[in-house]
Structure 1
Amino acid sequence: MSKATWNGAVLAESDKTVMVEGNHYFPAESINKEYFKESDKHSMCPWKGTANYYNIEVNGEVNKDAAWYYPSAKEKAKHFENYVAFWRGVKVEN
């Protein structure tokens, strides 16, 4: 079971994560949506496609663009389309 936490809150928990380039990608249904706010940030990966970002908000603190996902992944990344990955101090453990 993989778990993502930040600022004392469990952001996501799943035994169905997908490991890509050293990041655990969590299924969309495994995230605690109350902590996630859409960000206006986007980035492009040549083989995965365009990533959308979330700001994480816990107890009034915001971790800007701390999670990302690929809503329309390219063919080679379809198996983790809409899965959510983390960085910027979010702790992911197994």
Structure 2
Amino acid sequence: MKAVLGETTVAEADRDDLISIEGNWYFPPSSVRWELLQESPTPYTCPWKGECQYYSVRDGDEVLADRAWTYPHPYESGIERVGKDFSGYVAFWKEISTQE
């Protein structure tokens, strides 16, 4: 599967390597083109997943704020709820389409 913004692939991995959480596909960290992401200062803590790290995504000269996120150190109870360790996996907002 691919996470695509315009004509740029931001992440790509086999579907079996992704994790689906609450309708969002989370890509393994090794599949993400990190050079297209910029760490964001936006704070958020999910009550069951833990502290979130947002990233802005570059599309040419444009920067789309907070369009990607990850849980670097999710709560153990969140990992149990999902059934897999999703530490560091990255999900993308709707402008970044997920394609098979």
Per the TM superposition, whether the score is higher than 0.5 is yes
Question: Runs of 4 or more off by more than 2 Å in structure 1?
Answer: none
Match of 1:80 among 79, 86, 97: 86
What's the CA shift string for 1:47-81, capped at 9, x where partnerless? 10010100000211111100000011100334101
Indicate the SS of the match to 1:76.
helix
Determine whether 1:35 maps to 2:41.
Answer: no
Tell me the distance in 2 between the aligned counterparts of 1:5 and 1:77: 27
Percent of counterpart pairs with the same letter? Answer: 39
Question: For the aligned residues, what is the CA RMSD?
Answer: 1.1
* Mapped partners of 2:6, 2:34: distance in 1: 15
- Tell me the distance in 1 between the aligned counterparts of 2:71 and 2:96: 19
Distance 1:38 1:5 in 2: 19
- Following superposition of structure 1 onto structure 2, how do residues 1-94 of structure 1 map, counting pairs within 5 Å? 2-15=1-14, 16-78=17-79, 79-94=85-100
Mark the runs of 5 or more structure 1 residues left unpaired by the alignment. Answer: none
Structure 2: stretches of 5+ with no match in the other structure = 80-84
- C-alpha separation in 2, matches of 1:22 and 1:49: 18
- Give the TM-score taking structure 1 as reference length: 0.92
